[in-house]
């Protein structure tokens, strides 16, 4: 990075709620927000938005006739973007970049329209425009009446952090001085859950904590999906309103053995973390908010990567997926949100059933990781303002 980039605000919706105070309160207790629900003909664990928040999303849908045709992933992002803009005080700004990605995109609508096509042999008029991946950033820009650049991408589970990396690149190239970056996912559908179960990675045990992310003694995979969107407002200059700064970015891809593989020592994560840390001393990194999806190989690979990079200076490690599920494209942004909240409150949030590390003595610099199918890793170094 040429220079630090500053975080002005977050807007997010997840199983933890929407306001920073509510989200922090829910992080502070040891309760998880995962429930069991019927998906088609089979039950499965998942983490849903709270009912009162869903009602607010529905109110947004009813604001505009066009919004009634949009997928939940678009509405989650629009709702979150409005919050981020308001808190940042950017309501009058028009040259804001928008880069919001998704792993699955308009999952609910795509499945609905495909089912109709199988049954009738005809596609609905809105089938194409409402299921394109660019739908999310486009509609957020429309809602904000923004005139800046807007684009989307999909890099599986590292999509959200790739949005941050892309936005920083555009800002430091001089195209704009403000960006909304994030990810949105509304993929809690029978077909999506079935896909995860088919890979033998989904949680199936009725335990106190169904997702055992960072339980290094677990003997079964325990990934659980959640729905969420996370948008952060980035700017290239410091101000009174900024809440943290990004001081390093890193990214890497490793050679695959199969489509969802990751190396035993997390080679791509090692490279991404080293790039993000840059010239800082390893001892300056106080904690890592990990991708840690609750799978046997995924958790172990990331722990191995951290130990390989840091050696005796291993920082404190934590994850939030045991609490709010794996939210695909939004997961890295929610990890970043947790890191910023810990910096603001100067308190480390532990995984209650994990003994992998203890709380650090200080919180100044926190690494945030995300890795997706394809061995595609991103690391962001966020620092106290």
Confidence band of 6 (pLDDT split at 50, 70, 90): very high
Does the pLDDT value for residue 189 go beyond 80?
yes
DSSP, collapsed to helix, strand or coil, labels residue 16 as: coil
pLDDT given at position 278: 97
Q: Model confidence over 129-168: pLDDT tens digits? A: 999 988 999 999 999 999 999 999 999 999 999 999 999 9
User: What average pLDDT does range 191-210 have in this prediction?
Assistant: 96
Q: Model confidence over 333-382: pLDDT tens digits? A: 999 999 999 999 999 999 999 999 999 999 999 999 999 877 799 999 99
User: What average pLDDT does range 297-320 have in this prediction?
Assistant: 96
Residue 14 CA to residue 229 CA, distance in Å, equals: 7
Residue 70 CA to residue 307 CA, distance in Å, equals: 44
Does the pLDDT value for residue 2 go beyond 90?
no
User: What average pLDDT does range 120-131 have in this prediction?
Assistant: 95
Does the pLDDT value for residue 53 go beyond 80?
yes
Residues 6 or more apart whose CB falls under 8 angstroms from that of 99 comprise: 137, 150, 151, 152, 153, 163, 166, 167, 170, 179, 180, 181, 182
Pair of tokens at residue 195: 């896909």
User: What average pLDDT does range 58-75 have in this prediction?
Assistant: 97
Report in angstroms the alpha-carbon separations of 292 from 130, 272, 320. Answer: 32, 15, 8
DSSP, collapsed to helix, strand or coil, labels residue 101 as: strand
Contact indicator for 300, 317 with CB cutoff of 8 Å? no
Confidence band of 102 (pLDDT split at 50, 70, 90): very high
pTM: 0.97
Distance linking the first and last C-alpha atoms of the chain: 17
């Amino acid at each position: 990075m040429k220079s630090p980039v500053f975080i002005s605000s977050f807007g997010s919706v997840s199983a933890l709620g929407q306001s920073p105070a509510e989200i922090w309160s829910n992080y502070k207790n040891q309760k998880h927000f995962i429930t069991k629900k019927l998906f088609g003909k089979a039950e499965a664990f998942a983490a849903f938005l709270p009912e009162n928040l869903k009602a607010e999303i529905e109110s947004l849908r009813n604001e505009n006739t066009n919004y009634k045709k949009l997928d939940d992933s678009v509405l989650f992002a629009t709702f979150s973007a409005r919050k981020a803009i308001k808190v940042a005080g950017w309501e009058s700004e028009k040259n804001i970049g928008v880069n919001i990605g998704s792993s699955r995109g308009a999952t609910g609508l795509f499945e609905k329209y495909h089912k109709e096509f199988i049954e009738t042999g005809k596609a609905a008029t809105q089938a194409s425009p409402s299921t394109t991946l660019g739908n999310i950033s486009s509609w957020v820009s429309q809602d904000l009446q923004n005139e800046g650049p807007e684009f989307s991408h999909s890099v599986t589970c590292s999509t959200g952090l790739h949005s941050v990396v892309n936005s920083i690149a555009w800002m430091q190239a001089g195209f704009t001085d403000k960006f909304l970056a994030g990810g949105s996912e509304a993929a809690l559908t029978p077909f999506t859950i079935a896909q995860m179960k088919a890979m033998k990675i989904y949680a199936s045990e009725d335990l106190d904590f169904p997702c055992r992310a960072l339980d290094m003694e677990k003997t079964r995979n325990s990934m659980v999906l959640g729905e969420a969107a996370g948008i952060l407002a980035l700017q290239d200059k410091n101000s009174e309103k900024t809440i943290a700064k990004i001081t390093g970015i890193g990214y890497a891809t490793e050679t695959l053995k199969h489509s969802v593989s990751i190396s035993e020592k997390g080679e791509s994560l090692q490279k991404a973390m080293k790039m993000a840390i840059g010239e800082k001393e390893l001892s300056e990194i106080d904690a890592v908010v990990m991708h840690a999806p609750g799978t046997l190989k995924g958790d172990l690979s990331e722990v191995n990567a951290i130990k390989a990079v840091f050696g005796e200076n291993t920082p404190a490690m934590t994850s939030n997926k045991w609490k709010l599920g794996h939210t695909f494209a939004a997961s890295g942004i929610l990890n970043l949100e947790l890191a910023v909240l810990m910096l603001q409150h100067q308190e480390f949030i532990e995984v209650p059933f994990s003994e992998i590390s203890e709380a650090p003595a200080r919180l100044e610099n926190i690494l945030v990781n995300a890795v997706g199918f394809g061995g595609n890793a991103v690391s962001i170094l966020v620092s106290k303002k």
